[in-house]
Structure 1
Amino acid sequence: MQTHVATTPFGRRSMTLGQISSQVSAKAMPTEAMVNKWEVFQHIREAREMLGATDRALAVLNALLSFHRDAELRADGVMIVWPSNEQLMARANGISPATLRRHIAILVECGLVIRRDSPNGKRFARRGAGGEIEQAYGFDLSPIIARAQEFKDLSDAVQAEKRALRVARERLTLLRRDVVKMIDAGIEENVPGNWGRVLQIYQTTVSRLPRSAPRQHIEDICNELQELHVEIRDTLESFVRSQKMSANESHSERHIQNSNTDPHKESEERSREEKEASASGANNRNLHSLPARELPLGIVLDACPDVKALAKGGEIRHWRDFLAAAEVARPLLGVSPSAWQEACEAMGEVQAAITLSAILQRSDQINSAGGYLRNLTDKAREGKFSTWPMVMALLRAKLDASRSPAHKASDPRNEGKSPSERLEVSDALLRSLKRPR
């Protein structure tokens, strides 16, 4: 015969409003309610962080559920289990008594179980004459039934959040890949644009991304990268359209020239163009004697090693890293944004970055880096400037310094090394260095 249902814990354990709320929910559930205890346990395990439960607490809950014989929990059945601490510790993977008590308290605080303590704190059941349980003291599993739908909703919310986080991470990966490769394409194809600024924006945005970021933070970063993605794509698409228009116009011009029936006039125009070209070549003999190809990044870095210190991580592997470092060097040298913009327009951004790196390398010899850059920009507009002589001069100075006896004696890195080990250059580069300016 059930004499009294205990509502307060035994001993010095205090009663809380949360425990009373769990008891109210257990009393309010319909008598026909029934759930599969392992399905509900799966929902609880997925939503454990939202419930405030720990992994060890769930191990204890799993052990408590195992002491209930049936897989189904019924509101009209016996919902109390009364295992001893020794039995619980054995089924909870052998945890210590102190750990067991701590995590049982967590289960009670989370409202997953209810304590039904006996007058002396022991756990047991009293059976009647027919063998039916009349009175039981232990842990009441009624909240598993009463809150089953709540646990399912929480589990669904957690799964939806995981899916949203996975989608956000996939979007972030795609945006980062697209932005980096489109920047590389713009630099390699010499598309007009301030690619150094774009790189700086990208690196600043990505640097705010921690190793383990929440979904909302990832989505905010994605939104910023999306704006940058649209800007870069529009720049590249505009350039492609302009190239197509130029190709169409030149195709039409070729048709017009082919329709010319006066061979004497055509030969006169060709001879005049050849004379102009030869005159221009005579005026700019030094520039025309330089290699037609672009300066390799490795040669630039050999000539201007100081720019590496301004790169992220102190390493430059691609032109995009070089442009980003040049953007950092610009304000350090006191070059105004307008002077930099004019240099990029006149030389192209890569050549302007090489020029700025050379100025940085010789900053101790240049009083006004901004004025010097403007002077070189004016020469570039007139076709009288190339970065090859600047880089070759820096390499020549570096080579001469490595060959000087004072440098050999003062530099400890040169001890035990032959001259070829100190500075390795190709034969083609040596011929370029020896060529008169």
Structure 2
Amino acid sequence: MQTGNVTTPFGRRPMTLALVKRQIAVAEIKSGKSADKWMIFRDVKEARETFKLQPYSIAVLDALLTFYPDKELRQDAQMIVFPSNAQLQVRANGMSGATLRRHLAILVDAGMIVRKDSPNGKRYARKDGAGEIERAFGFDLSPLLARSEEFALAAQKVATDRREFLQAKESLTLCRRDVRKVISAAIEEGAEGDWEAIEAVYLDIVRRIPRTPSASDLANILDEMQLLYGEVINQLDMLGNSEDISTNGAQTERHIQNSKPESINELEPSSRTEQSARPSEISRPKREPIKAFPLGMVLRACTQISDYGPGGQIAGWRELMSAAVVVRSMLGVSPSAYQTACETLGPENAAAVMACILERGGQINSAGGYLRDLTQRAEKGKFSLGPMLMALMRANAGNERQAG
């Protein structure tokens, strides 16, 4: 059990106010809180760049967790591990001593672990008469439990950002292809207009794509490319040539639709003999969003989810969605699976589904597999959240009558 004492580092290692605050925060872990250590580790690993952790730092954290005997980190348990540097080096795939010490310091500075140094700086544990650990000196893993919700939310954000980046990259590639081919078709077929100048604008936009673009870079470039595309199509409409271009490009579009561009900087061919593509292909049909059920209905059907909201209660959809991310991590659902559910069902309905999965507890063997199955069924129009909520509401009502 944590005592809440603030300890200072051994030797010449300095004490900082940040270290004091972290140790105080560890002492304030909610009573009875527990979490799977490997689920926490997966979230930290997924969001390692958010916390400025290097791959070697993740390897050292992995090694430290192997010395903790239980699968779950618990607030009422002793969470200090005390391996020697030699033992850690072995479990960190033979990492050198200097590298190990550097990455232990990085983990401390990042607030992932806290040093609990003994009077002589050695790591060891003192046991009582019954053989139980009475006091230990080493590395305290409590910060991982204290910040488990933060790690889960950070991992989910990384998954969301990655998906948005890939979607923006795909959209820009498609838009570039359409603009390139429509301009080429206009020049090839002798359409009226200053197409050389329009092509120069296109090439200028392409040149400004960074070698390693960020999501915001892609969004800005995509906006410019879509504006150019709109201007090109408008000019062709005024000339009465849009119908011809759409017809000539049909066969080419069917051929290239199956290709997957690997690089955003792959320049489309500018040959004047290439066939044109249909301008309409840039717009993809989107499925109508699934209507969200009333929040009150969700909370009546899923009573347990409120425990994971801020202060143990949920007052709005934002709180429910944050609680669902915490539950997602606790149940072992990957960030990518939950992000796909959010995109298919909508964020409110995805959060409601996580609340339903939590409510059903032991009836579901794999929460991640179950969520993916529901998502796939929803994509085919074969899933509705209503029956699930109604069944849980009836079950809760029955339990209340039995208790009464």
Question: Would you say same fold, with TM above 0.5?
Answer: yes
Instruction: Quote the Cα distance in structure 1 between the aligned partners of 2:220 and 2:35.
Output: 41
Q: 1:54 to 1:62 in 2, by over 3 A?
A: same
Equivalent position of 2:72 in the other structure: 72
Instruction: Quote the Cα distance in structure 2 between the aligned partners of 1:243 and 1:152.
Output: 51
Give yes or no for contact 1:6–1:117 (8 Å, CA) kept in 2.
no
CA shift for structure 1 position 237: 2.3
Q: 1:87 to 1:237 in 2, by over 3 A?
A: same
**May I ask how many residue pairs the two structures share in their alignment?**
250
- Other structure's SS at 1:51 match: coil
CA shift for structure 1 position 21: 2.1
CA shift for structure 1 position 168: 0.7
Give yes or no for contact 2:11–2:121 (8 Å, CA) kept in 1.
yes
Give yes or no for contact 1:79–1:142 (8 Å, CA) kept in 2.
yes
Q: Structure 2 unaligned segments of length 5 or more: list them.
A: 245-268, 275-404
Instruction: Quote the Cα distance in structure 2 between the aligned partners of 1:132 and 1:243.
Output: 82
Equivalent position of 1:376 in the other structure: none
Give yes or no for contact 1:56–1:103 (8 Å, CA) kept in 2.
yes
Counterpart residue identity of residue 318, structure 1: S
Give yes or no for contact 1:48–1:54 (8 Å, CA) kept in 2.
yes
Is the aligned partner of 1:318 residue 2:290?
A: no
Instruction: Quote the Cα distance in structure 1 between the aligned partners of 2:84 and 2:156.
Output: 35
Is the aligned partner of 1:53 residue 2:50?
A: no
CA shift for structure 1 position 243: 8.6
Is the aligned partner of 1:152 residue 2:152?
A: yes
More helix by share: 1
Aligned-pair Cα RMSD in Å: 2.3
Instruction: Quote the Cα distance in structure 2 between the aligned partners of 1:241 and 1:232.
Output: 11
Q: 1:238 to 1:71 in 2, by over 3 A?
A: same
Equivalent position of 2:316 in the other structure: none
Instruction: Quote the Cα distance in structure 1 between the aligned partners of 2:51 and 2:242.
Output: 59
- Over residues 32-84 of structure 1, what are the superposed CA-to-partner deviations in whole Å (9 max), with x where a residue is unaligned? 00000000000000111111111101100000000011111111011000000
CA shift for structure 1 position 6: 5.3
Where do 1:205-284 residues align within 5 Å? 205-240=205-240
- Other structure's SS at 1:32 match: coil
Q: 1:135 to 1:2 in 2, by over 3 A?
A: farther
CA shift for structure 1 position 318: 2.5
Is the aligned partner of 1:191 residue 2:191?
A: yes
Is the aligned partner of 1:200 residue 2:200?
A: yes
Instruction: Quote the Cα distance in structure 2 between the aligned partners of 1:227 and 1:175.
Output: 10
Counterpart residue identity of residue 232, structure 2: I
Give yes or no for contact 1:116–1:138 (8 Å, CA) kept in 2.
yes
- Other structure's SS at 1:222 match: helix
Equivalent position of 1:87 in the other structure: 87
Instruction: Quote the Cα distance in structure 2 between the aligned partners of 1:66 and 1:101.
Output: 18
Counterpart residue identity of residue 59, structure 2: A
Equivalent position of 2:175 in the other structure: 175
Counterpart residue identity of residue 223, structure 1: D
Equivalent position of 2:13 in the other structure: 13
CA shift for structure 1 position 155: 0.6
Give yes or no for contact 1:108–1:114 (8 Å, CA) kept in 2.
yes
CA shift for structure 1 position 7: 1.4
Instruction: Quote the Cα distance in structure 2 between the aligned partners of 1:115 and 1:141.
Output: 9
Equivalent position of 1:328 in the other structure: none
Equivalent position of 2:336 in the other structure: none
In percent, how many aligned pairs have the same letter? 45
Q: Structure 1 unaligned segments of length 5 or more: list them.
A: 245-315, 322-437
Instruction: Quote the Cα distance in structure 2 between the aligned partners of 1:74 and 1:3.
Output: 14
Equivalent position of 2:63 in the other structure: 63
Instruction: Quote the Cα distance in structure 1 between the aligned partners of 2:168 and 2:105.
Output: 37
- Other structure's SS at 1:50 match: coil
Q: 1:189 to 1:139 in 2, by over 3 A?
A: same
- Other structure's SS at 1:126 match: strand
Which one has a bigger Cα radius of gyration? 1
Equivalent position of 2:132 in the other structure: 132
CA shift for structure 1 position 2: 10
Is the aligned partner of 1:166 residue 2:166?
A: yes
Q: 1:6 to 1:137 in 2, by over 3 A?
A: farther
The alignment's TM-score, normalised by the length of structure 2, stands at 0.59
Equivalent position of 1:113 in the other structure: 113
Runs of 4+ displaced beyond 6 Å: 1-4, 241-244
Instruction: Quote the Cα distance in structure 1 between the aligned partners of 2:2 and 2:183.
Output: 78
Where do 1:283-298 residues align within 5 Å? none
Instruction: Quote the Cα distance in structure 2 between the aligned partners of 1:6 and 1:160.
Output: 37
CA shift for structure 1 position 210: 1.6
Q: 1:3 to 1:182 in 2, by over 3 A?
A: closer
- Other structure's SS at 2:125 match: strand
CA shift for structure 1 position 319: 3.8
Q: 1:118 to 1:4 in 2, by over 3 A?
A: farther
CA shift for structure 1 position 31: 2.5
Q: 1:135 to 1:242 in 2, by over 3 A?
A: closer
Q: 1:242 to 1:65 in 2, by over 3 A?
A: closer
- Other structure's SS at 1:73 match: strand
Instruction: Quote the Cα distance in structure 2 between the aligned partners of 1:212 and 1:38.
Output: 32
Where do 1:381-420 residues align within 5 Å? none
Instruction: Quote the Cα distance in structure 2 between the aligned partners of 1:141 and 1:61.
Output: 10
Instruction: Quote the Cα distance in structure 1 between the aligned partners of 2:38 and 2:203.
Output: 48
